[in-house]
Every structure is written in structure tokens, then in C-alpha cells.
Amino acid sequence: MFYPNDFHDIDLIPEPPTEEPARQYYYIALAGRKLEALGRDRNHPYRYFLETFGCQMNEKQSEVVAGILDEIGCVRTDSEEKADLALYNTCTVRENANLKVYGRLGRLQNMKKHQPDKRIVLFGCMMQEKEEAERIRTDYPFVNLVFGTHNNYKFAELFCRMMEEGRQVIDLQEKPDRIVEELPTERNYSFKAGVNIMFGCNNFCSYCIVPYVRGRERSREPEAILKEIRSLVEDGVTEVMLLGQNVNSYGKTLEHPVSFARLLSLVEEIEGLHRIRFMTSHPKDLSDELIDVMAKSHKICHHLHLPMQSGSSRLLKDMNRHYSKEDYLALVEKIRAAIPDISLTTDIMVGYPGETQEDFADTLDVVRQADFDTAFTFIYSRRSGTPAAGRPDQVPEELVKERFDSLLALVQEKGRAASSRFTHTVQEVLVETESKEEGILTGRTQYNLLVHFPGSKELLGKYVPVCLEECRGFYYLGRMAADCEGH
């Protein structure tokens, strides 16, 4: 995007630069020449397999790693077995995410016995936990490279170390020291892209490990964000997703503070940009200014992800969420008054320590009143090092499962009813993928609803008017408006 057109032109005779990102450009060039030399003795290019666990922030970081590997001269493959380099961007929000990684490592260990030259890389949130990184060091010595969330930008440099050193390389930073811009990125889509506007989190919810593995909040300068989006638009992007652990607190750490609502207004002014999305919003500091900007905007999608976690004021206080059940419902009412067609989605946790039947009933009550289009429901997962993990009043597993099933049934019932309000309307759909079934396309409305409809793959990346004919809960079946009677 803003990096050199040809890394082959970089002079490798002097010592590596100390400033970033020039230092990483140097190592991209160095790694590329190392692979060129390696390739002379091979009958195929150096292939890599990359899998991402977790959130869209992780997806964005994986795009940077993929972009660097592409510049180095590696070729991506969907085959874990055929890859010379296998990389895994890890998540640690819930215990199950960690278990997935260890399950994968068991298979990779056996694979590496038959492919001793295969290199394995683990990075991301799970690796930022000291205990997990130490376990990899002692129990999984066949893993070649480990790094965390704070030094993702150093991947080219770490790749060179891994290729040069005949031992396991573990490189972790305890705290983030900088935001490094202008690194190569391999986007998953040509027409839409995620854009980081901030990193880290200052909320310290009692159940959440994110502030410990991603660090404290750091906002990017608005000029850097706008520059990146303009460049993306010039490259064919028409929809951007602004990313942060809590976008509502964007700009507070800047030398000259800028509100998130103001940033959205600046992004809206970019010509050629058609849609703006963002996530995630914390209810405690969603401002009237932001609601007003969304209501007046012609580009900001009318979809808001507003994590609730629990409907119990007592538990919300214990979780350190800084709002009550009544506050949350009042906010929902205020949003709907300003933006009547808004699509609201949320996160809901079941089984937080000390949760009583009365607390759970409050959660169900909010679901009945708020009319969420979708709610992402999950069972509380004890994360080591968080305040909630040490609580003695953990809820029995059988009771949690019973409550979870009850919540899920209500969420599906209410979600189907809320989503079906668009039946027999024509909506603009951004076509994203072609289904496994040939001739069936999949896209999203501005309300973040999935739509499947017949069409040709030439429509990928385009905005198409689609008649939504049948609601199937959280997705629609439809036809292009020109093919529908009466349109």
C-alpha cells in the first residue's frame, strides 16, 4: 500500500535499520533472497498454510502475516499437509480456543515426523499468555516460532531468525511499545477490508483476558486511518469495517483527542466508499453524538453490535461493565428512536460465577424486550489471571447447560421474528462469495443479514438489489429484484 514497490531493490549490505517499518522492509528483502536460494534446490515454491482462530482483529493481523509471506515469495496453500510452513493465529478468549490449538499440535507432531523440514509457527493472543508460551517451549519443542500480539509487526525479522537458527525461537513482548503502520497486507477480499483504528482495551471486565494479552488502549492517528482507507478505496474497496476492542473509546489516548463519532464523519467524506461498518461498541460509553452521526449518515450501516453479557444488574456490576439492566434497555430504546430500522446484535454469557435463577431470568427478560436480530450466546469460560476465575461460586455445569439451551431457544425464536421483518422487501446486497452450490451467491445487506440468491460470479464485489423472499432465521433466500414479479 505505502511500502516499496519492489523489495528486491533494498540494499542488504548495510546493517538493518533501527526504525520501523524500514527495519521490517529490510528483513522482507532478506527473507526473500534466502527463499530464492532455497528454491533452486526444490521442485516447487515454498508453500504456507495459515489458519486464524478468533475475532476480526486476529483476521486483520493474519492478513499482515500473509502479506509479508507473499512479498517474501511464499505461495499460500489450503493443504496443511503439503505446506512447508504452517502458521496458526491463536485465540484465548475461551478455553475451547486453547484446546483447539493443542488438538492441532498433536496432529502436527505426527506430521512433522514424516516431514522434518516443515516449520510450525504459533502467534497471537494465546501465545501472549506466559503460561501457554512456556508450555509450548517445554512440551512442544517441534514448534519452530512463537510470538505474541505486541510484536506482530516483527514477523519478517522473526521469520529470518527461524530460518537461520536450528532451535525454537520464542519472542514475546510484555507490553506493546509502538503501532507500526504500512506493512504489506494480503486482503481476504478485494472489495471489502478491515481497518484497525485502535488496539488494546482498558475495561478490565472481570471475566475477560483481552486486556492482559492485547495491552492497554492505543488509538491510531486519524490521519493514518484516513490515509489507509483512501488507499484501499483506490484499490477497489467499497466497504470498510473499523476495528477495535471498544471503538466507542477511540481517540482518548491521542495527544489531540478525537471522538469516534468525529472519526466516522471524516471517513464518510471519502469519495468512492460505499459502506462503513464498525465493531465492537461497549454500551457504557456509546455517545449521543455517535447515535446522531449514525442516524444522519448515508454510508454507515444500520447494524450495531452491542454486547450485553448479562441482563442482571447485580452481575453486570460484578463484571465491571459500568451499566445496569435499566441502562442497557434505555440505550436500546434511544438507539431505536433515532434509527428505527437498526439491526441490533449482542453477546450473552451464561454461567458467570454466582449467577442465580433470578439473574438468568433478568437476562431472558432483556432478550424479550430488546428484539435482537442475533445474539451470540456462550458459556462462561474460566480464564486464568482474571478476577472471576478465582471465585468459589462457580455454577454447576449441568445447570449452566440447561440455562444455555433455554437461552438459545429464546434467542432463535426472537431472532427469527426480528429478522423476518424484511421479508418481501428489496434490499441492497454486497455480493461476497459464490456458494458451494454453483450459481448461488451469498452476500450481506447493510443490516448484516446473510442472503443467498441465484446469480453469476461476475457479480462478486458488486451491490445488487435483491428481493428477500424467505427468512430462514438468520439468513434469507432471495432473487435478484429484476427477476421478481412486481419489480
Residue among 87, 68, 72 at smallest CA distance from 186: 68
Task: Give the pLDDT mean for 36-64.
Answer: 87
Residues 259-283 pLDDT 10s: 999 999 999 999 999 999 999 999 9
Task: Give the pLDDT mean for 333-352.
Answer: 97
Q: Identify the pLDDT of residue 13.
A: 93
Q: How many residues can be counted in the chain?
A: 487
Average pLDDT over the chain, rounded to whole?
94
Q: Is the pLDDT of residue 399 over 90?
A: yes
Query: What's the CATH fold of domain 7-171?
Result: Rossmann fold (3.40.50)
Q: Identify the pLDDT of residue 483.
A: 78
Helix axes 288-296, 260-268, angle to 10 degrees: 20
What lies within 8 Å, CB to CB, of 21 at 6+ separation is 3, 153, 180, 181, 182, 183
Q: What's the whole-model pTM score?
A: 0.92
Q: How many CB atoms lie within 10 A of CB 279?
A: 22
What are the cell numbers at 371? 428484539
Q: Identify the pLDDT of residue 27.
A: 96
Q: Is the pLDDT of residue 485 over 70?
A: no
Query: What's the CATH fold of domain 305-421?
Result: Transcription Regulator spoIIAA (3.30.750)
Q: Identify the pLDDT of residue 1.
A: 46
Q: Is the pLDDT of residue 353 over 60?
A: yes
Q: Identify the pLDDT of residue 417.
A: 93
Q: How many CB atoms lie within 10 A of CB 120?
A: 25
Helix axes 260-268, 222-234, angle to 10 degrees: 30
* DSSP sequence for 169-187: EEE--SS------------
Q: How many CB atoms lie within 10 A of CB 288?
A: 10
Percent of the chain exceeding pLDDT 90 equals 87
Sequence-ordered alpha helix ranges (H) in 374-445: 397-419
Note the Cα 403 to chain centre separation in Å: 28
Q: Is the pLDDT of residue 2 over 80?
A: no
Helix axes 155-164, 56-72, angle to 10 degrees: 60
Query: What's the CATH fold of domain 423-483?
Result: OB fold (Dihydrolipoamide Acetyltransferase, E2P) (2.40.50)
Residues 21-37 pLDDT 10s: 999 999 999 999 988 88
Task: Give the pLDDT mean for 241-250.
Answer: 96
Query: What's the CATH fold of domain 189-301?
Result: Transcription Regulator spoIIAA (3.30.750)
Q: Identify the pLDDT of residue 8.
A: 82
- Cβ atoms of 232 and 196 within 8 Å: the answer is no
Task: Give the pLDDT mean for 120-139.
Answer: 95
Rg (Cα) of the chain, in Å, rounded?
A: 24
- Which segments within 98-191 are labelled E, that is strand? 119-124, 145-147, 169-171
Spatial distance between the Cα atoms of 338 and 334, rounded to a whole number of angstroms: 6
Torsion, Cα 334 335 340 342, to 10 degrees, reads: -160
Spatial distance between the Cα atoms of 317 and 319, rounded to a whole number of angstroms: 5
Q: Identify the pLDDT of residue 210.
A: 92
- The residue type found at 253 is T
For residue 28, give the H/E element and its range.
helix 22-39
Task: Give the pLDDT mean for 204-219.
Answer: 93
What lies within 8 Å, CB to CB, of 122 at 6+ separation is 87, 88, 90, 101, 136, 143, 145, 146
Task: Give the pLDDT mean for 200-229.
Answer: 94
What are the cell numbers at 222? 486519524
Q: Where are the domains of the chain?
A: 7-171, 189-301, 305-421, 423-483
Spatial distance between the Cα atoms of 324 and 99, rounded to a whole number of angstroms: 34
Q: Identify the pLDDT of residue 175.
A: 87
Residues 419-465 pLDDT 10s: 999 999 999 999 999 988 889 999 999 999 999 999 999 999 999 99
Residue among 246, 393, 249, 368 at smallest CA distance from 315: 393
Helix axes 155-164, 22-39, angle to 10 degrees: 40
Q: Identify the pLDDT of residue 238.
A: 98
Q: Is the pLDDT of residue 473 over 90?
A: no
Please determine whether the domains at 189-301 and 305-421 fall in the same fold group of CATH. yes
